[in-house]
Amino acid sequence: MTEQRNADHYRADEHIDPYISVQGARTHNLKDVSLRFPRNAMVVFTGVSGSGKSSLAFDTLYAEAQRRFIESVSPHARRLIDQAAAPDVDNIDGLPPAVALQQSRAGAQERSTVGSLTRISVTLRLLFSRAGVRPEGVPFMTADFFSPNNPEGACPHCQGLGRVHTVKTESMVPDSSLSIRQGAIASWPRGWHNKNLRSILETLGYDVDAPWNTLSARDQQWILLTDEQPSVPIFVGLNAEQREKALATGEEPAYTGTYTSAAKIVLQSYSGGSETTKKRLARFVTVTPCSECHGKRLNRDALSVTFAGHDIASLSELSVSELAELLKPYARGASPDLPAEAALREAVIRMASDICMRLEQLETLGLGHLAPGRRTTVLSSGELQRVRLATQLISRLFGVLYVLDEPSAGLHPDDVKSLLIALKNLVRAGNSLVVVEHNIDLIAEADWLIEVGPGPGTHGGEIVYNGEPAGLEEVSASPTSAYLFSRNYTGLRQRRPAESWLCFEQVYCNNIAGVDIAIPLGRMTAVTGVSGSGKSTLLNRVLPEMHGRFDKTPDIEEGEEEDLVPDVKGQVVSGSDAIGRLVRIDQRPIGRTPRSNLATYTGFFDIVRRLFADTDAAKAKGFSASRFSFNLPAGRCPACEGQGQISIELLFMPSATATCSVCAGSRYNPETLEVKWNNMTIADVLDLTVDDATKVFHGHDGIQRSLKALTSLGLGYLK
């Protein structure tokens, strides 16, 4: 380990050790790491992906700080806190209280906005309540009446969401030549529910065997759209004549069925269903602005109150920069529209000043393009993290350790300068920063640099360097050194000319106004620009929706329904025939369940299970491929249910996780582990790294395709 100890500059008091000291950290791939680094400084953790940076910063330092804090909380309150497991570390000295700002979407709720997260919205509501101009006849309203999340203020038609879901009637019956029994109503659920609805219609006297287009318009309307919900007795397996006879004789029915219209079923399932259900039903649903509030989310009385000529909804849709310009005269006390009454005048100045101070922090972090009313569900992970960072800058805490996860992610180099100023301001305020980062500009500005590595996974977990950035130049084992000191510049490669182009004309969406767009096909195209310039709008809105016009409606991701308002406008000029499919890859978590892993997600685990099922030992025992799934009872360990670990819930302490004592972490029962392929059990295969698995499954093309793709992306160290 190379360590440079020249941190006297960061000493705050000669009687207090100015260092944070870690002894024996073994979290994840960390190899009994010990190190010291200064407090009251910006300390950057760097290294290749998978080297152990986050394990040291978040899963060791932050986790230990959180554990110590929770120990100070009363036992009753601990039950209300989601407690993480204690980190595997011998000791940490000099550790301040910590706040973690990760690139996580946890807490980004459907109704959460930039304004609510930074408390700008709270002060705006107070401003409208105290100093808003009310039309004659509109009574005084408290601040709660200006919140769409409050029943008093929310629009009654859309419940404060600003949009409504309606069902496209024609889409529910795509093929009118089919009968109901043949599946004419495509929006109906599958399985027993489908059969139940059909039986109810038969009992009500509707012909489910006639082609849909032969039914009367009245019958079609009732089946698809009725608000009635009649309940009828259901006799399974009886025809119409037999049903009438059963009813006449008082025969007991199999059950009583209640009919719900096709449209109502779609809306109920869409609003409360899983992401998979939403994707299945998206083709039947249209999202439109609420006709009552026109997307503003508030009731008429709340929207009738104005300040500076704006209602609170339109004021919240101004960008951070525009809103700051509007309120600065009020904050300075220079606006001619300030109230004449002294007490109210002072209150308005104070509220405007508070809002301007919060807006200024957002602008400093390169977020001047966002609007306070922008939902957090549609922010990028980097934007959301910087909004949370702004709230910390506003709080003016002292003596805190901030742990940040790549705050420069997604930022244009010009915006990184503003970010650096904000980070330095946190340090000047008496705080300590630990920043996990890959950006060379930010690394170069660190007060102290720690490189974890040298490689990923089992090849990492060690401290390559610990000291001031300048000292890294002499460390030959550092992968970062060559990039930081410009020794690894390869120059620009020769570009190939494009053979065809995807062209759009007069595109309008958000801040893209009347733009002509030409994208070369068969080439890698980089879309860049400062924050708020329209990059995400182009990639996440324009391309999928314009493509959807000549292919199919793009999948609606969870929390993104609002992206359908407003519509993308424009014309596809050329290139559409050359695109068979559009795939969007983003930073959302890929695991569908906690049990999902690389093998199951990429699909090659199905092939591996078939290889085990084809062995002589498996055939002799009568094991099929399903026997080798850790998700099914037949093959998995009964004690841990195929998880390999057992979590023990402790009432007043963090839950303890231990390796299953029955299967020793293998996930499988002994009988399943008796079957071997190439002298390996199925548990041995799951414990391989991608690099090792590539060698083991040499010659198996179906498996090699997935493994080579992972290796080419630098993920060979993952298991």
Q: Looking at the structure, tell me whether residues 135 and 282 fall in a common domain.
A: no
pLDDT at 637: 94
Q: Looking at the structure, tell me whether residues 279 and 176 fall in a common domain.
A: yes
Q: Looking at the structure, tell me whether residues 541 and 654 fall in a common domain.
A: no
| Rounded distance between C-alpha atoms, residue 256 and residue 93, angstroms | 68
Q: Outline where DSSP puts E strands in 162-230.
A: 163-167
Q: Looking at the structure, tell me whether residues 179 and 253 fall in a common domain.
A: yes
Asked whether residue 425 is domain-assigned, the answer is yes
pLDDT at 48: 92
Range of the domain at 422: 2-105+379-484
Q: What is the CATH classification number for the domain harbouring 304?
A: 1.20.1580.10
Q: Looking at the structure, tell me whether residues 237 and 334 fall in a common domain.
A: no
Q: Looking at the structure, tell me whether residues 423 and 461 fall in a common domain.
A: yes
Looking at 428, 453, 484, the residue that finishes a domain is: 484
pLDDT at 3: 46
Q: Looking at the structure, tell me whether residues 63 and 11 fall in a common domain.
A: yes
| Rounded distance between C-alpha atoms, residue 353 and residue 356, angstroms | 5
| Rounded distance between C-alpha atoms, residue 348 and residue 124, angstroms | 10
Asked whether residue 695 is domain-assigned, the answer is no
The per-residue b/e assignment along 603-614, b for 16 or more CB within 10 angstroms, e otherwise, is ebbebbbebbbe
Asked whether residue 521 is domain-assigned, the answer is yes
pLDDT at 375: 85
Choose among 422, 442, 322: nearest CA to 373.
322
Asked whether residue 707 is domain-assigned, the answer is no
Looking at 241, 257, 288, the residue that finishes a domain is: 288
pLDDT at 73: 72
DSSP secondary structure string for all residues of 377-406: GGS-HHHHHHHHHHHHHHHT--S-EEEEE-
Q: Looking at the structure, tell me whether residues 432 and 546 fall in a common domain.
A: no
Number of domains in the chain: 5
Asked whether residue 489 is domain-assigned, the answer is no
Asked whether residue 217 is domain-assigned, the answer is yes
What share of residues in the chain are helix, strand, coil (percent, to 5)? 40, 15, 45
Whole-model pTM: value is 0.74
Asked whether residue 413 is domain-assigned, the answer is yes
pLDDT at 658: 74
Quick check: 130 and 145 in contact, CB under 8 A? no
Question: How many CB atoms are located within 10 Å of the residue 678 CB?
Answer: 10
Q: Looking at the structure, tell me whether residues 384 and 465 fall in a common domain.
A: yes
Quick check: 78 and 653 in contact, CB under 8 A? yes
Residue appearing with tokens 């059969």:
195
Q: What is the CATH classification number for the domain harbouring 215?
A: 1.10.8.280
Prior bond of 454 cis (ω within 30°): yes
Going by C-beta distance under 8 Å and a sequence separation of 6 or more, which residues neighbour residue 305? 128, 132, 133, 134, 135, 138, 141, 146, 311, 312
pLDDT at 378: 78
- The count of residues in the chain is 719
Q: Looking at the structure, tell me whether residues 220 and 146 fall in a common domain.
A: no
DSSP secondary structure string for all residues of 426-439: HHHTT-EEEEE---
What tokens were used for 116?
């609510």
What tokens were used for 72?
């100070």
Asked whether residue 701 is domain-assigned, the answer is no
**Whole-Å CA distances, 237 to 189, 210, 231, 449:** 21, 19, 18, 76
Question: How many CB atoms are located within 10 Å of the residue 719 CB?
Answer: 14
pLDDT at 77: 65
Q: What is the CATH classification number for the domain harbouring 75?
A: 3.40.50.300
Residue ranges, the chain, pLDDT below 50: 1-12, 107, 550-565, 651-653
Q: Looking at the structure, tell me whether residues 651 and 677 fall in a common domain.
A: yes
Going by C-beta distance under 8 Å and a sequence separation of 6 or more, which residues neighbour residue 437? 44, 45, 46, 404, 406, 407, 408, 443
Q: Looking at the structure, tell me whether residues 180 and 249 fall in a common domain.
A: yes
Tell me whether strands 255-258 and 401-405 are parallel, antiparallel or unpaired: unpaired
| Rounded distance between C-alpha atoms, residue 275 and residue 259, angstroms | 25
Looking at 288, 320, 347, the residue that finishes a domain is: 288
